[in-house]
Structure 1
């Protein structure tokens, strides 16, 4: 069993434990996201789906699948880019804190990291002092990855 199969199997068990199903199309879309380190839009996924599976998939279906996968905590939506990335913790059984995303502005590779809850609590306090309410603690940080830095040097 390869790594992708293991990840999909864990995702399937996660869905079953919540009383939902990871259908064939959902598995196919999740597999496409797991196989890339870059965030993909729904239309990127449609193009890849055709290339990998030899069949078209309607945009509405992809959006519904992405909504389902996000609700099951299997993918994350990068709100600023309106793209999706597979959760790097699909095979874990424990809480990883608040996900944060480092996005290379050169090659678009995305790395998921976690931030301590105490840091998020401090951020929330700062937000409240400024007269706002934190809706989502997810941060998307523009960076340059080490590979791109090395290429530029």
Structure 2
């Protein structure tokens, strides 16, 4: 969980990134991104609507949230988890260097998500294996269904 000061620093950095691309991080975009950062887990658009209402007393229509999420994804500030149809804040928003290909460990019990990076050579080998099987790799993002240590400890 991030502190309010830490979230504000991340949002300020995200704002700077957007400006460098000629884009604008509007107030509602900031609210959605802040909600994702603060949650630390995968959230659907409807989860975000509820959080924005609960935390910021802001009613944002579903179509607006989807457009905001698309914008944030294009700016590489959030990732869409395709299998769960949920979103997570990028854990590398404030970094200025390449982190390789993002991979996601998703706890099936509590929805906590951990973003890790896989070495590019591993992805290259995977791409080669895919091509040898007669397919073309469109997206190298991997989403792995897991159980986090906290949930594992609770079930033991």
Q: TM-score, normalised by structure 1?
A: 0.98
Unaligned runs of 5+ in 1: none
Which runs of structure 2 are paired with 1:62-77 in the superposition (5 Å)?
Answer: 62-77=65-80
Q: CA deviation at 1:100?
A: 0.2
Partner of residue 52 from structure 1, selected from 42, 52, 55 = 55
Q: CA deviation at 1:55?
A: 2.7
Unaligned runs of 5+ in 2: none
Is 1:147 matched with 2:118?
Answer: no
Q: CA deviation at 1:128?
A: 0.3
- Write out per-residue CA displacement over residues 11-38 of structure 1, whole angstroms, 9 at most, x where no aligned residue: 0000011011000110011000000111
What is the count of residue pairs matched by the alignment? 153
> Match of 1:141, SS?
strand
Which runs of structure 2 are paired with 1:31-46 in the superposition (5 Å)?
Answer: 31-46=34-49
> Match of 2:39, SS?
coil
Q: TM-score, normalised by structure 2?
A: 0.96
**Aligned-pair Cα RMSD in Å:** 0.9
* 1:12 matched residue in structure 2: 15
CA distance in 1 between counterparts of 2:17 and 2:147 reads 33
The runs of 4+ residues in structure 1 deviating greater than 2 Å are none
